[in-house]
Structure 1
Amino acid sequence: MTLTLYTNPQSRGRIARWMVEETGAPYEAVILDYSTTMKDEGYRAINPMLKVPAIRHDDRIVTECAAICAYLAEAFPEAELDPRPGELADYYRWLFFAAGPLEQAVTNASMGVTPNENQQRMVGYGDFARVIDVLEQAVGRAPYIAGDRFTAADVYVGSGVMWYTQFGLVEKRPVFLDYIARLQERPAYRRAAEKDDAALAAAASGDQGG
């Protein structure tokens, strides 16, 4: 079976790249440009939202980073990234917390949108401060988000913690920094970062061949 990653190194595609690297599976990376190839009809057939990342696994297509992480964990069980029975609840709880309330809260805050008391009942996350406090509790309970073992949920949740703190969207609390340090030691994370950084450098130099 073939695995293709459609991505751009300046996007959430870095999450998917890291997850693919964690599986250890061979894959092809197709680097798309925001203004050209990402809008082509060929890619529209892959993801009609015209955004990255997306993966094609043989004849199956998956989009959305959280879904890609969960799918690849199940598709490549030998990598042991999917949850064990005792990890199921925390795995799915925090994976979807990060994809839903956390991302929505951070996005709104970054745009200067602060829901009033009545709107807080509608937005799905309440208020920003509460979301970040809950994230801190989730990350601080154990070495990894589902317990003592790294899983695919850490790729997604951890990427969010990395980005949000890096860009000043979430304060750099000690719990977050400790979690980030553990994740950045992973060989797959380092390989993915090196490949994306190389792709970014190639794009900057005008070399589209890599």
Structure 2
Amino acid sequence: MPADITLYTNPMSRGQIARWMLEEVGQPYETVVLDYSDGMKSADYLAINPMGKVPAIVHRGKVVTEAAAICAYLADAFPDARLAPAVSDRSDYYRWLFFAAGPVEAAVTNKALGFVVPEGRDRMAGYGTFDHSIDALERAVSVPAWICGDQFTAADVYVGAQVDWGLTFGTMPSRPAFEAYADRLRERPAYKRQKEMDGALIAQMKRAE
């Protein structure tokens, strides 16, 4: 029986986040790997995502783009996976999921690009300053278990991907809370499966160069 979900991705992209979430969900899915030129900019793919970027998923004809949105959507679409808290307990879930997708993403990207908010203009930037955003993120993950308590959720996939990437590539400072959180994430079977699959694709692409 064909899978109801198609993942459009590139292993060297935020598509790793969507694959990790799909592995946590545990539902079958098809994978379409796109390159950064012809694949993502083709007319067929632009009809799915006009931005010409990955990841995107198509689930029973419905398109979802943006990694954080994909995580939240899949948690709701497959409630048996228990990747979202009860609606009455979603304050931290929504807060930190969207904080990571907004201020943290912008702060880390701008710093990597060398952009510095002019002095006295931090109120105009959604993230204020890089240091303020990172300090707030540290608060979110300074917990003994997960962002929403004992329950691992889609928020941990997205926030965790930001922390894992930041520590691996040096775009985020190493702090004990970040390192401990990343260590817990890296022990998850779904995380390991995602890394194995995307790692194999990256190796295959490099051999083809």
Same structural fold, with TM-score higher than 0.5 when normalized by the shorter chain:
yes
User: CA offset at residue 85 of structure 1?
Assistant: 4.1
CA distance in 2, matches of 1:86, 1:180: 27
Residue matched to 2:45: 43
Residue matched to 2:160: 158
TM-score for both structures, normalised by structure 2 = 0.95
Residue matched to 2:130: 128
User: CA offset at residue 116 of structure 1?
Assistant: 2.5
User: CA offset at residue 199 of structure 1?
Assistant: 1.1
Q: Secondary structure at the match of 1:37?
A: coil
Q: Secondary structure at the match of 1:124?
A: coil
1:108-147 paired onto structure 2 within 5 Å:
108-147=110-149
Partner AA of 1:182 in structure 2: R
Asked whether the equivalents of residues 10 and 200 of structure 1 are also in contact (C-alpha less than 8 Å), the reply is yes
Q: Secondary structure at the match of 2:40?
A: helix
Q: Which stretch of the first structure deviates more once superposed, 77-86 or 162-171?
A: 77-86
Partner AA of 1:101 in structure 2: P
User: CA offset at residue 86 of structure 1?
Assistant: 5.2
Asked whether the equivalents of residues 85 and 151 of structure 2 are also in contact (C-alpha less than 8 Å), the reply is no
The alignment status of 1:176 with 2:195, answered yes or no, reads no
> How far does the alpha carbon of each residue in 1:154-174 deviate from its partner, in whole angstroms, 9 at most, with x for none?
000000001111111111101
Partner AA of 2:30 in structure 1: E
User: CA offset at residue 203 of structure 1?
Assistant: 1.5
| Distance change in 2, residues 1:85/1:59 (3 Å) | closer
Residue matched to 1:104: 106
Q: Secondary structure at the match of 1:205?
A: helix
Residue matched to 1:4: 6
Q: Which stretch of the first structure deviates more once superposed, 121-130 or 19-28?
A: 121-130
User: CA offset at residue 197 of structure 1?
Assistant: 0.9
User: CA offset at residue 17 of structure 1?
Assistant: 0.3
Structure 2 gaps, min length 5: none
**C-alpha root-mean-square deviation of aligned residues, in Å?**
1.3
CA distance in 1, matches of 2:63, 2:142: 34
Residue matched to 1:58: 60
Q: Secondary structure at the match of 2:53?
A: coil
CA distance in 2, matches of 1:201, 1:87: 41
User: CA offset at residue 100 of structure 1?
Assistant: 0.4
Structure 1 gaps, min length 5: none
CA distance in 1, matches of 2:179, 2:35: 32
> How far does the alpha carbon of each residue in 1:104-127 deviate from its partner, in whole angstroms, 9 at most, with x for none?
111111122221233201011111
Q: Secondary structure at the match of 1:28?
A: strand
Partner AA of 1:61 in structure 2: V
CA distance in 1, matches of 2:13, 2:188: 20
Asked whether the equivalents of residues 8 and 31 of structure 1 are also in contact (C-alpha less than 8 Å), the reply is yes
Residue matched to 1:90: 92
Q: How many residues align?
A: 207
Aligned identity (percent) is 57
User: CA offset at residue 137 of structure 1?
Assistant: 1.0
List structure 1 runs of 4+ shifted beyond 3 angstroms: none
User: CA offset at residue 36 of structure 1?
Assistant: 1.5
> How far does the alpha carbon of each residue in 1:42-85 deviate from its partner, in whole angstroms, 9 at most, with x for none?
10111010000000001100000000000000001111101224
Asked whether the equivalents of residues 87 and 147 of structure 1 are also in contact (C-alpha less than 8 Å), the reply is no
